[in-house]
Amino acid sequence: MENRIPLIGEKFPELEVITTHGKMKLPEVFKGKWFILFSHPADFTPVCTTEFVGFQKRYDEFKKLNTELIGLSIDQVFSHISWINWIKEKMGVEIQYPVIADDRGKVAERLGLIHASSTNTVRAVFIVDPNGVVRAIIYYPPELGRNLDEILRAIKALQMADKAKAAMPANWPNNELIGDKVIVPPASDVESAKDRLKNYEGYDWWFVYKKLDE
């Protein structure tokens, strides 16, 4: 079994993991749902604590999008539980999503998540669709906490891209050029390219867009 980062468009690897919610099989446990697996360097660290609280604060929003969360680090279950209890006691926030305990590092190694200069897991995000396919991957260095609103936006944009069969512009739904409109996929032949500006708004035949209800 090859230890490397899964590529976008590949199936998420089948893994049996130990979590704070018991044993789980990935991606099977989330079949029919989107899920976000996010790794963090270590429990009881400041940046990771801010991220865990941030994810929990948005957990209901993710669930409304048929999306589950699952964390991961090279720590034991008792460490995860102790840290989660500390967050509840000190921050008043109860972490409700599961966290993978990977004290031997096998899960992190399988996913290519070990930091080059240490034995900790990197700060990574995998967004996986209901078919178990990896749709997006985001990496951050240890010193940089994640933008959790961007991860939430990415889920919304990917789901809308699937529904509208379109591409999503930068900063969607607040793009500087086309607002909340979406980009029509490229023309498949010369004839369809000629008609694109007749059928859609656009800057040129290769850059046309539409409203979501069109």
Residues with a catalytic annotation lie at: 48
Cβ contacts of residue 151 below 8 Å, gap of 6+?
36, 38, 125, 127, 138
**What amino acid is encoded at 92 in this protein?**
G
Q: Which tokens sit at 210?
A: 């539409």
SS3 at position 121: strand
Q: Which tokens sit at 67?
A: 């999306």
Q: Is 24 exposed, middle or buried (0-12, 13-18, 19+ CB in 10 A)?
A: middle
CA distance 155 to 52: 18
Residue 125, phi then psi, degrees to nearest 5? -135, 125
Across-strand partners of 67? 34
**What amino acid is encoded at 58 in this protein?**
R
CA distance 134 to 129: 7
Residue 150 · residue 166 · CB < 8 Å: no
